[in-house]
Structure 1
């Protein structure tokens, strides 16, 4: 990694470390430590998610017009203020408002960091850059949660205040690190608006005309709905109600999930980085379908309690294996589909899809996991198989380099934007095969037509 990329990864890991201090204990803090009740805690969690949904539609254009660094710095400051305020909140109003500020700040960070990674990497290195970010963020979250668990004491509110202040400090550290990054020159941010005026008519319209990106967003919603949207809601309720495992075992299961990601990430990376992205994602669907079947055995198999516990822990571990396969495929693919002047908007749109899935997932999965045990398992086995089908269909929409970046010959910050017609693809392939070897190109960007024109 170059110096800029190393600093971005460091800042991302440190912010994840800070988030890990508070995420596992937010509900307990609001409901029990501040004695505001379970209803208020639910409102705080909902507001946290809704704030993200409110700001993400505007984040992408700000990134593309101003650049990702200033947007990230502002977001880090906002998140820091929200975290510190939440740690000092003692009534419903301040807790809800603080959660809204914190949720808005952290939501903006994700597409800003993703866009910085895109600018600091090429087609040959982007897969590993996103895999490294995912690895470091999970490692940071895991360590932060473990350290935070040694500090908290429900009888002493000041220990929870300390956790939130540590989180706030880590956001400031991220902002400081971002200031020190020397981003490579990107002509996209010198003139973010395409000269044909299409962006002025609405970047969303352009994005929706890009069929490959729309298919990827649908696939992303199903991915996050069937996995992350169930971790702390439906699957947790199913494990305690149907499988009869102890609540403390859920912590062990989540730790197993993180451990698999940390241990397997780079082993998996070596296996998938030279394979087609669509087929890797399709394989994840099969792995997760098997994970849900294992969960079904835990709650419906009438085995011993020990076997049920082992099955639930194995379910979370299998989800972690699938996550480690997704990190070097999905996020880089979003960047590779984006027009050069809309990288931020594409990243923000995908982050918005993720937030929607994380909001809908618990609302649907929670009640089903608690009471409709059989239908719950069947539903999410089918959703996982749907991932496989959607991934294979997406693969037919991608160019060969978009689907398998290892085929790229010329390094590029932003790869071809949309899928050309079959005749155009055949012509381009024939011309590249017969063309003489050219002198080294001066610019590292491969230009292509906008997705609206291609479709």
Structure 2
């Protein structure tokens, strides 16, 4: 598990080096224009959507390790070729290779965490993964920002080279790992661990379908708005300076890093769906604060504080989601389909991240009032969907700590009535 988490952090560190500067690199440093930069970002996202539907079945048939190694090598090639690219065709193809590689890593790493953890420790394992990802992305962006120089294309080549090396290190760490098969969740219905793979099985699993719908709304209403709709709304409606957007993102990351392990005990003692429902309410408050920032009724300082608070509240919600949603996907999956379930959820995430900016960006820039109302309603919808999902889960799936308690009770159960009497 330590090796998996270290590799996860290194890959996030490499991505943090380049992703924030991809648009600037293509449009300005390579002087290929805004249209090409948009095509590059589109290729990055579309490659993920193309690759993920095939990833889960391969993971379940071959195991997550070879898939992770192959994805890391593919991403390394994409990163290096991106750093050396100088024409439209090369940068678009490089972005597609890089996007496919990094997308396939997500379900492979998630499946490895499932295989390397017991159900009782899965909540903390996924919380640590989320923490390490954010820490890696934040540090990568910070260090990368100190190295880049638009007047020196070589500085960007260096960044992509470092990213390529990070992916090679991830592959090197992965080949040293020996994984056990995953332990089934206590209370898993008989026969569920023997389920055969296939889209029909997944679509017939009502709880998983509802979780995917919930996941789409979660990612669409939060991550899909960070650097598009919400940023446009902040600068256009609230008069936020572009530099303040960086401060807001830093506040978001700081809350995640500080709160992640503080909320674990709170999460572990409660039903997962209730925690997710609470996130919907927290995010509704965050959107209301964003709406206040754009009203213009207070001072600019108050608007700025409200806008930064919006990102901070999003961070608190993310810290609560990390130990609930991803482990739930793993606990719902039949043993033979863990990779397919993780890939399906990663695909839903990618769809939300693709549609979020496309819809939220124009709304945030021009339809200020409807934009805020829409996403307040989306946040409240999260709470409603979470409550409905809770009705489809077994008590142990919704609160794994109950399984640990039941095992302890079983171990201390008297053998017969005479023993109990004694």
Alignment of 1:361-440 (within 5 A): 361-409=356-404
RMSD of aligned C-alpha atoms? 2.1
Alignment of 1:25-104 (within 5 A): 25-104=21-100
Does the Cα contact within 8 Å between 2:194 and 2:335 map onto a contact in 1?
Answer: no
The normalised TM-score by structure 1 is: 0.87
Cα distance in 2, alignment partners of residues 367 and 41 from structure 1: 18
Cα distance in 2, alignment partners of residues 209 and 273 from structure 1: 29
Structure 1 unaligned blocks of 5 or more = 189-193, 413-431, 439-455
Cα distance in 1, alignment partners of residues 220 and 283 from structure 2: 12
Cα distance in 1, alignment partners of residues 195 and 161 from structure 2: 44
The superposition leaves residues 351-397 of structure 1 with CA deviations (integer Å, 9 ceiling, x where unpaired) of: 00000000110011000000000000000000000000000110011
Flag the 1:398–1:433 CA change in 2: closer, same or farther, 3 A.
farther
Question: Which stretch of the first structure deviates more once superposed, 93-102 or 266-275?
Answer: 266-275
Residue 302 of structure 1 and its aligned partner are, at CA, apart by 2.3
Does the Cα contact within 8 Å between 1:86 and 1:99 map onto a contact in 2?
Answer: yes
Flag the 1:297–1:185 CA change in 2: closer, same or farther, 3 A.
closer
Residue 267 of structure 1 and its aligned partner are, at CA, apart by 0.4
Cα distance in 1, alignment partners of residues 262 and 110 from structure 2: 23
**Structure 2 counterpart SS, 1:63:** helix
Residue 195 of structure 1 and its aligned partner are, at CA, apart by 12
Cα distance in 1, alignment partners of residues 173 and 341 from structure 2: 24
1:309 matches 2:304? yes
Does the Cα contact within 8 Å between 1:123 and 1:411 map onto a contact in 2?
Answer: no
Residue 198 of structure 1 and its aligned partner are, at CA, apart by 7.1
Per the alignment, residue 187 of structure 2 pairs with: none
Per the alignment, residue 419 of structure 1 pairs with: none
Flag the 1:177–1:382 CA change in 2: closer, same or farther, 3 A.
same
Cα distance in 1, alignment partners of residues 3 and 28 from structure 2: 38
Per the alignment, residue 158 of structure 1 pairs with: 154
Residue 274 of structure 1 and its aligned partner are, at CA, apart by 1.3
1:15 matches 2:11? yes
The superposition leaves residues 306-338 of structure 1 with CA deviations (integer Å, 9 ceiling, x where unpaired) of: 111111111111000000000000000000000
Runs of 4+ off more than 2 Å: 185-188, 194-199, 409-412, 432-438
Flag the 1:198–1:123 CA change in 2: closer, same or farther, 3 A.
closer
Cα distance in 2, alignment partners of residues 375 and 388 from structure 1: 20
Per the alignment, residue 242 of structure 1 pairs with: 237
Cα distance in 1, alignment partners of residues 77 and 369 from structure 2: 44
Per the alignment, residue 286 of structure 2 pairs with: 291
Flag the 1:390–1:405 CA change in 2: closer, same or farther, 3 A.
same
1:349 matches 2:322? no
Cα distance in 1, alignment partners of residues 251 and 77 from structure 2: 33
Question: Which stretch of the first structure deviates more once superposed, 307-316 or 385-394?
Answer: 307-316
Residue 409 of structure 1 and its aligned partner are, at CA, apart by 3.1
Flag the 1:121–1:303 CA change in 2: closer, same or farther, 3 A.
same
Alignment of 1:141-156 (within 5 A): 141-156=137-152
Flag the 1:363–1:90 CA change in 2: closer, same or farther, 3 A.
same
Cα distance in 1, alignment partners of residues 147 and 352 from structure 2: 32
1:223 matches 2:218? yes
Cα distance in 1, alignment partners of residues 383 and 193 from structure 2: 38
1:125 matches 2:121? yes
**Structure 1 counterpart SS, 2:261:** helix
Does the Cα contact within 8 Å between 2:114 and 2:182 map onto a contact in 1?
Answer: no
**Structure 1 counterpart SS, 2:120:** coil
1:326 matches 2:321? yes
Per the alignment, residue 420 of structure 2 pairs with: none
Residue 181 of structure 1 and its aligned partner are, at CA, apart by 0.9
Aligned residues: 408
